[in-house]
Amino acid sequence: MSQSAPTVGAVIITMGNRPEELRLLLDSVAKQDGEPVQVVVVGNGSPVPEVPEGVRTVELPENLGIPGGRNVGIEAFGPAGREVDILLFLDDDGLLERTDTAELCREAFLANEKLGIISFRIADPETGVTQRRHVPRLRASDPMRSSEVTTFLGGANAVRTRVFAEAGLLPGDFFYAHEETDLAWRALDAGWSIDYRADMVLLHPTTAPSRHAVYHRMVARNRVWLARRNLPLPLVPVYLGVWLLLTLARRPNGAALRAWFGGFREGWSKGCGPRRPMRWRTVWRLTRLGRPPII
């Protein structure tokens, strides 16, 4: 990474159904202080709406899911995104609140050579409220407190591209759900750190993840894949057992529970990609950061 002005790119995936929101997001990226942010918009199984001059576009013939679409965006910046030093990943219906977000990212990565990923704070544009689920730590009551964390928010983050070269890209087969934690665990195991920064804000309307029809099935399937791919064998049944108990404690309705158990079975019956269990010292590191990989 250049010590003077690290280069910054941005990857935005879209299904073409939010052209006005996409344009506002692109405008907020164009207004960032410092060197211009290079932007790639990926049409995930759809044409890309009209975008400003200078914005690169890639149109995929089919929807590859969130991680698959973002991987295409990464590769548009060369293998593992190496044509730039930092990549921002932004939801197409989000909006950068401040014009200094890219500069803050440059400063943060320059100040800490082991910082690999920054998770932004997501706030509702009307109320300013940050949902508890958008604070990537167990102690989530104070969203205004920045801290080191063990995962990050997929549509509001910045990644040092060396992380992709060392830890690999997002797990494309996940399609939706838990792909960020999969990358986060691999990055942590490679020695990188992850920060949650309350001063780097993406404005985004308040939503519920269960709005997606595939939510319950994919959350369960990918939870199993996450464990099978990344955890030492003794922790796999513990981790999945805890999540089973938590799911039952939340008392989902019958349809949701059937979808969840269907996904859970699918996670065991289908291949999950290469298994690279984290080292026990990474397990201890996660524990010291307040999120042992059984919760």
pLDDT tens profile 204-241: 998 776 555 588 999 999 999 999 999 999 999 999 99
3 in any annotated domain: no
**CA distances in angstroms from 126 to 136, 193, 209, listed in the order given:** 22, 32, 19
Domain's final residue, options 149, 175, 207: 207
Read off the pLDDT of residues 70-79 as tens digits, 9 standing for 90 and up: 999 999 999 9
- Looking at residue 207, its pLDDT comes to 77
Q: Are residues 222 and 184 in the same domain?
A: no
| pLDDT, tens digit, 9 for 90 and up, residues 6-32 | 999 999 999 999 999 999 999 999 999
Range of the domain at 283: 210-288
| pLDDT reported for residue 112 | 98
Residue ranges in the chain modelled with pLDDT below 50: none
Give residue 138's region: left, alpha or beta (phi > 0; psi -120 to 50).
Answer: alpha
Q: Is 294 within a domain?
A: no
**The pLDDT of residue 5:** 87
224 and 178 in a common domain = no
Task: Give the domain CATH number at 71.
Answer: 3.90.550.10
Q: What is the pTM of this model?
A: 0.95
Residues 6+ apart with CB under 8 A from 149: 119, 136, 137, 194, 195, 196, 289, 291
Q: For residue 221, which phi and psi values (nearest 5 degrees)? A: -60, -45
